[in-house]
Structures are given as structure tokens and as C-alpha cells.
């Protein structure tokens, strides 16, 4: 059977006669609607109730927790991400291959594009959040690293840090005035400056690692879904924290080498990532019509997303007036 016809047959088998049904369907008990009468959410549920089905067992692979031991995905803790296993299971279920084109309209950490690249499948992602856009386009670069490559660059970079001029950061952002002690902030600014002098793709890779250490080097701590100030917290040295991140990356390079020799070692399947609003796709240069769409609309954690994001953006010095306020 032709591969495309086989995929269509699989989709019909899973979704019934309605081709627009959302996949992963299973029978679930009738549940009471918890939304306010005539709310927008209730209207949407009613409008699409014949198209929406749920597979409750997916709940365990939607949470970021499943990425804590995943190579490279564990590097930057992006709470709103879903797991490698979720995307991998979806791609395997439909026997996706290099002829497909995967689209994630809320790319977040970049799990969808990262997983697609591992399996040699072209992909494209969009996100409105600058940090999400940055992590989505940077994460796949880690797959191209050779063993000890990042460690050697870090070894040559370390002596330059203290000699570097402190990078400009958005010090007028309130969180920057209370999240770091004076010496840590100075070291972080010098580290950022040294990273900025690197050429790409190493600049972006080191910047992602830099963003990943900000929380442990600050007086901020997780408290449930929120990020709070804790002046009694024992903070990490930025250099020590980066040493640990470099060691993690090198370990993951070796792990990926052992796990699979089929992972692309060039940028042939490097995903396209856009900083854009999914509600307007007019400027997105799709290479072809997407054949697979994987999405998890953001569960907006206002404190977590803004405070952690603001720290990263403040060092990146790309804040808009709206974000500053």
C-alpha cells in the first residue's frame, strides 16, 4: 500500500468518518461542565463537542516532569513544555517520516521540533514569547555538537570572563534590582559579555545555558506554580553553575551517541522557527502544507512566565516598554 494511503487509512481508523476529529480518542465517562453559563469556554466546548475526544492516559506525558532525564531537554527547565515521549508517540502512531511536515503553533521549549529533527522529519514552529522562540530555535543545535566540543570552548572562554566589560542589561526592570546580589550580578553580566563575543551557533547555545542558570544564581525559588523571592536561599556561583551545565551537555552528547547513530549530524532537518502570533500566519514561510500539527496551548502561569522570562529578557536587553511595566 502507498505510504500516504496507509497514513490516511490509519487516521480514518482512529478518527472515524469525521476527518477533523482530534486524535488520541478514547471513551470517557460523561462529565459535568464546570464553566459558567454562556461563557466563551462553554460556547467553544459546545461548538466542537462532536469533534473533541480525550485520551486521559496522555496526562502523564504532557507535563514537563517527564523531561527531567531526557537528553538536552533537561537543560533548560521550561515548565509549560510537554515531554519528548508525547511527541515521539504521536509521530510513531502515524508513522511520520521525512515526507511529512510537522507544525507546532505554540512551540514553547521546542520539544516538537527537537523530536522531529531526531527522527529526520522537517518541522516548523511559532511562538509569540521571545524566550520560547529563542529556546525553540536553539535546542536542536545541541544535536549537532561533537563530544568535548562545548567543553573546549568553555575552557578557552573561562579566563576571559573576569576581563570582560559587564554587558548592558535592563537594570530598570524591578526583578533585576532584588533577584541577585551585587557580586553575582556583576559576574553574570561579565559572563554574558564573554558569551556575546562567541560566533554562532555557539553564542546561542551558551546563551541558552546562561538562561538556564539564572534561577539557581538568584534569590528566586519555585513555590508551587509561582516564583518567589527568598533572601535565605543559598545561591550558586555563576561559574560553578555553568560548569555543571557544560558537564550535563557533554554527558547528553555521549548519551545521544549511544542511544542512536541515526540522528542527523547536519542541518538538513533543522526546523524553521518564527517569532510570531499564531493567529496571523500570513508572514510564515511554510515549505509545504503541514501534514501533522502538534500543539498544547499555553497554560498561562502569569507569575512564573513573566518573572522568569523577565530575568532572561533583561539579560538579553530586548524588553519592550510593555514588558518593563
Residue 172 dihedral angles phi and psi, to the nearest 5° = -80, -5
Check whether residue 10 and residue 132 sit in a common domain: yes
Residue 310 belongs to a domain: no
For residues 114 and 179, state if they share a domain. Answer: no
Burial 308-320, CB ≥16 within 10 A → b, else e: bbbbbbbbbeebe
**CATH number for the domain including 63?**
3.40.50
Same domain, 217 and 287: no
The domain in which residue 174 lies consists of 146-257
Whether residue 286 sits in one domain with residue 251: no
Tens of pLDDT along the chain (325 residues) come to: 455 555 555 545 444 444 444 444 344 444 555 667 778 878 877 887 777 777 777 777 777 777 888 999 999 888 778 889 889 998 998 899 999 999 999 998 999 999 999 999 999 999 998 999 999 999 999 999 999 999 999 999 999 999 999 998 887 778 788 889 999 999 999 999 999 999 999 999 999 999 999 999 999 877 666 678 888 899 999 999 999 999 999 999 999 988 766 676 667 889 999 999 988 999 999 999 999 998 865 444 433 444 555 556 555 554 333 333 3
pTM for this predicted structure: 0.79
Q: How far is residue 218's CA from residue 230's CA, in Å, rounded to a whole number?
A: 9
Query: Strand 226-229 vs strand 220-223: parallel, antiparallel, or unpaired?
Result: antiparallel
Look at residue 319 and tell me if it is in a domain.
no
* pLDDT (0 to 100) of residue 316: 55
138, 24: one domain? yes
Q: Which residues pair with 273 in a beta bridge?
A: 125
In a domain, 309, yes or no: no
- 247 within a domain of the structure (yes/no): yes
Whether residues 226 and 122 share a domain: the answer is no
Nearest to 154 by CA among 288, 71, 248, 51: 248
The answer to whether the peptide bond before residue 57 is cis (omega within 30 degrees of 0) is no
Asked if residue 152 and residue 136 are part of one domain, the reply reads no
Which residues, 6+ apart, have CB-to-CB distance to 184 below 8 Å? 217, 218, 235, 237, 238
Q: What is the CA angle 136-140-143, rounded to 5?
A: 160
- The x, y and z cell numbers of residue 117, run together, are 529533527
pLDDT for position 166? 94
Q: Which residue has the cell 498561562?
A: 300
Residues 95 and 139 in one domain: yes
Amino acid at each position: 500500500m502507498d505510504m500516504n494511503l496507509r497514513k490516511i487509512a490509519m487516521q480514518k481508523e482512529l478518527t472515524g468518518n469525521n476527518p477533523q476529529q482530534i486524535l488520541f480518542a478514547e471513551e470517557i465517562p460523561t462529565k459535568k461542565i464546570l464553566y459558567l453559563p454562556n461563557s466563551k469556554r462553554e460556547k467553544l466546548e459546545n461548538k466542537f463537542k462532536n469533534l473533541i475526544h480525550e485520551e486521559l492516559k496522555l496526562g502523564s506525558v504532557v507535563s514537563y516532569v517527564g523531561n527531567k532525564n531526557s537528553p538536552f531537554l533537561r537543560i533548560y527547565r521550561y515548565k509549560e513544555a510537554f515531554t519528548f515521549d508525547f511527541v515521539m508517540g504521536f509521530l510513531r502512531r502515524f508513522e511520520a517520516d521525512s515526507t511529512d511536515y510537522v507544525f507546532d503553533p505554540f512551540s514553547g521549549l521546542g520539544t516538537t521540533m527537537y523530536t522531529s529533527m531526531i527522527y529526520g522529519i522537517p518541522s516548523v514552529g511559532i511562538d509569540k514569547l521571545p524566550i520560547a522562540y529563542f529556546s525553540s530555535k536553539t535546542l536542536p543545535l545541541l544535536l549537532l555538537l561533537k563530544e568535548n566540543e562545548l567543553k573546549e570552548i568553555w575552557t578557552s572562554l573561562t579566563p576571559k570572563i573576569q576581563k570582560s566589560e559587564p554587558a548592558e542589561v535592563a537594570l530598570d526592570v524591578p526583578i533585576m534590582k532584588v533577584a541577585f546580589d551585587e557580586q553575582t550580578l556583576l559576574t553574570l553580566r561579565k559572563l554574558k559579555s564573554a558569551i556575546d563575543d562567541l560566533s554562532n551557533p555557539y553564542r546561542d547555545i551558551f546563551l541558552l545555558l546562561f538562561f538556564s542558570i539564572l534561577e539557581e544564581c538568584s534569590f528566586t525559588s519555585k513555590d508551587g506554580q509561582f516564583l518567589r523571592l527568598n533572601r535565605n536561599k543559598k545561591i550558586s556561583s555563576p561559574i560553578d553553575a555553568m560548569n555543571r551545565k557544560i558537564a550535563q551537555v557533554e554527558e547528553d552528547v555521549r548519551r545521544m551517541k549511544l542511544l542512536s547513530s541515526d540522528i542527523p549530524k547536519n542541518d538538513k532537518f533543522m526546523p524553521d522557527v518564527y517569532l510570531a502570533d499564531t493567529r496571523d500566519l500570513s508572514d510564515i514561510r511554510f515549505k509545504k502544507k503541514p501534514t501533522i500539527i502538534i500543539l498544547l496551548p499555553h497554560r498561562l502561569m502569569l507569575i512564573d512566565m513573566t518573572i522568569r522570562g523577565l530575568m532572561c529578557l533583561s539579560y538579553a536587553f530586548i524588553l519592550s516598554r510593555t514588558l518593563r511595566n
